[in-house]
Amino acid sequence: MSRLIIEGGKPLKGSVEISGAKNSALAIIVAAALATEGESVLENIPHGSDVGTVCEILRDLGAEVWFDDDNKLHIRGQNLYKHQASYDLVRKMRASFYSAGLLLARLGKAEVPLPGGCAIGSRPVDFHIKGFTQMGAEVAIEHGYMKAKAENLKGAQIYVNRASVGTTINLMIAASLAEGTTILENAAKEPEVVDVAIFLNGMGARVRGAGTEVIRIEGVDKLRGIEYSIIPDRIEAGTFLFAAAITGGDVLLESVVAEHLRVPIVKLEEAGVIITRGDNNLRVQAPNRLKPVDVETMPYPGFPTDLQQPLVAAMCLADGTSVVRETIFDRFRYVDELRRMGADIKTDQGTAIIRGVPSLTSAPVEITDLRAGAALAIAGLAAEGRTELNGVEILERGYEFFADKLRQLGAKVYKEDSNIDDRRKVAIK
Ligand code: UD1
């Protein structure tokens, strides 16, 4: 185990390059293995450990997956042969369930472990399974696995419950090689869904309407590999926006699609931050103290649940009371750690009431999930003294070169290996 040490209190200044979108990359890497001709070469793939896990899953299923010297990811799916995904790999990450759509489409059968609960609450895959069933798959749940068979998946009209991102993507993957047309109603509209659809179309799929509530996928006989570059990560960009905001910083984010961050930008402007949109960049200039804001998380284009924690962290030091309602996941466990740093937060069911305090103090804290890690780092950047973030591996699942990027902006951040005994000492203190 390692920890991140942050000596807070310095405004972030300078420019930082935003990486490729993790959530797009995870789906596109799996979708690339649909191709039975040629190879896909993917650019702008971020180097978090979740990406490593999805590459391992594909290799285990028989695909060839490798990074070249220019950091481009090559994927050849021709030799995919195994329909059972490994429990040890799938349990690490929920997005590995995309392998179910891939295997059903390519091999007509899939045995994929059901992802378990995680630190942000119960995260079932019942919507995915309902979709596969509607496409003609016979599905059984046995011994913690989804076992599905379908000689030929068939197009179907499917209502996607709660506009689920994962379900929309998994069904697009499965439907691309199905017989006939699949219509997804109430589809997710997230930019990552659109990115996957553009990639699939490049490979020869016929996906129309991605980014709207209705997506039509006409199945085709085969797909071929292509070169593709992943969109910038709006959640990483948002995390740096809030980090700059809480420290009273002045930061230029490079390689950003501002359109993907419309609501977070509006909320930051309400908080008193000046945001200037450039061609491919965003400049954020923050005041000494933020104003409070009220936010409700919503599916895209609403305020993303993945930025709820960074927002709450930033509001801990605002000049007044903010109310944040979380509607997508059960995602407030991390506030206990923020309280240990002096934050005044009350949670009731899905709502957090954050009363801004004049300052936060450093403390050893424990990262419980990816975005909680981002929130604690943001709090640490503004806190007085030396904050120790334990469990930094969780943060590194989805943020590439996090400490390096913060250092580039002038923050005092470094990584330290910690052993179990140290962690016990921290807990006892
Ligand atoms: C994806 C993102 C995650 C983001 C989330 C919402 C990836 C790898 N992860 O997660 O970062 O926070 O979208 O924007 O892209 N649900 C069910 N049954 C299902 C599927 C979903 O009940 O079969 C529920 C979930 O518990 C949640 C809601 O539907 O309450 C939306 O979840 P979903 O959009 O599917 O999230 P993920 O795709 O898992």
pLDDT one digit per residue (tens) for the chain, 429 residues: 789 999 999 999 999 999 999 999 999 999 999 999 999 999 999 998 899 999 999 999 999 999 999 999 999 999 999 999 999 888 888 889 999 999 999 999 999 998 865 565 667 899 999 999 999 999 999 888 999 999 899 999 999 999 999 999 999 999 999 999 999 999 999 999 999 999 999 999 999 999 999 999 999 999 999 999 999 999 999 999 999 999 999 999 999 999 999 999 999 999 999 999 999 999 999 999 999 999 999 999 999 999 999 999 999 999 999 999 999 988 898 999 999 999 999 999 899 999 999 999 999 999 988 999 999 999 999 999 999 999 999 999 889 999 999 999 999 999 988 664 444 433 332
Probe target for ligand 1 pocket from 57, 328, 330, with the most ligand atoms within 8 Å of CB:
328
pLDDT for the residue numbered 173: 98
Probe target for ligand 1 pocket from 23, 29, 164, with the most ligand atoms within 8 Å of CB:
164
Tens digit of pLDDT for each residue in 190-243? 999 999 999 999 999 999 999 999 999 999 999 999 999 999 999 999 999 999
Query: What is the position in ligand 1's atom list of the atom closest to the CA of 50?
Result: 8
Probe target for ligand 1 pocket from 112, 123, 139, with the most ligand atoms within 8 Å of CB:
123
pLDDT for the residue numbered 48: 86
Give the Å distance between the CA of 28 and the centre of ligand 1: 17
Report which protein residue has its CA nearest ligand 1's atom 13: 165
Give me the amino acid identity at 104.
L
DSSP-assigned beta bridge partners for residue 351: 325, 348
User: Vertex 220, ends 219 and 221: CA angle to 5°?
Assistant: 130
Q: Report the 3 state secondary structure along the chain.
A: CEEEEEECCCCCEEEEECCECHHHHHHHHHHHCCCCECCEEEECCCCCHHHHHHHHHHHHHCCEEEECCCCCEEEECCCCCCCECCHHHHCCCHHHHHHHHHHHHHHCEEEEECCCCECCECCCCHHHHHHHHHCCCEEEEECCEEEEECCCCECCEEECHHHCHHHHHHHHHHHHCCECEEEEECCCCCHHHHHHHHHHHHCCCEEECECECEEEEECCCCCECCEEECCECHHHHHHHHHHHHHCCCEEEEECCCHHHHHHHHHHHHHCCCEEEECCCEEEEECCCCCCCCCEEECCCCCECHHHHHHHHHHHCCCCCEEEEECCCCCCCCCHHHHHHCCCEEEEECCEEEEECCCCCECCEEECCCHHHHHHHHHHHHHCECEEEEECHHHHCCCCCCHHHHHHHCCCEEEEEECCHHHHHHHHHC
Query: What is the position in ligand 1's atom list of the atom closest to the CA of 165?
Result: 34
Probe target for ligand 1 pocket from 22, 96, 165, with the most ligand atoms within 8 Å of CB:
165
Query: What is the position in ligand 1's atom list of the atom closest to the CA of 164?
Result: 34
Residue pointed to by tokens 């369930």: 97
Helix axes 370-382, 308-315, angle to 10 degrees: 20
Cβ atoms 28, 228 nearer than 8 A: yes
Report which protein residue has its CA nearest ligand 1's atom 35: 164
| Active-site residue list | 118
Give the Å distance between the CA of 164 and the centre of ligand 1: 5
CA atoms within 13 A on the CB side of 356: 18
Give the Å distance between the CA of 123 and the centre of ligand 1: 7
Give the Å distance between the CA of 423 and the centre of ligand 1: 32
Query: What is the position in ligand 1's atom list of the atom closest to the CA of 304?
Result: 14
Domains and CATH numbers, the chain: 2-19+232-426 (3.65.10.10), 22-229 (3.65.10.10)
CA distance 187 to 343: 37
pLDDT for the residue numbered 118: 57
Cβ atoms 245, 269 nearer than 8 A: no
Give the Å distance between the CA of 190 and the centre of ligand 1: 11
Max Cα distance, the chain (Å): 63
Tens digit of pLDDT for each residue in 322-337? 999 999 988 898 999 9
Tens digit of pLDDT for each residue in 156-202? 999 999 999 999 999 999 999 999 999 999 999 999 999 999 999 99
Residues with CB under 6 A from ligand 1: 23, 26, 94-95, 123-128, 162, 164-167, 188, 192, 305-306, 328-329
Give me the amino acid identity at 267.
K
Report which protein residue has its CA nearest ligand 1's atom 12: 306
Give the Å distance between the CA of 251 and the centre of ligand 1: 31
Give the Å distance between the CA of 93 and the centre of ligand 1: 12
Cβ atoms 56, 75 nearer than 8 A: no
Q: Which of 28, 22, 59 is nearest to 228 (CA)?
A: 28
Query: What is the position in ligand 1's atom list of the atom closest to the CA of 26?
Result: 8
Report which protein residue has its CA nearest ligand 1's atom 9: 23
Q: Which of 125, 190, 140, 181 is nearest to 158 (CA)?
A: 181
Report which protein residue has its CA nearest ligand 1's atom 3: 306
Q: Is 301 exposed, middle or buried (0-12, 13-18, 19+ CB in 10 A)?
A: middle
Sheet strand arrangement including 281-285: 13-17, 250-254, 281-285, 274-277
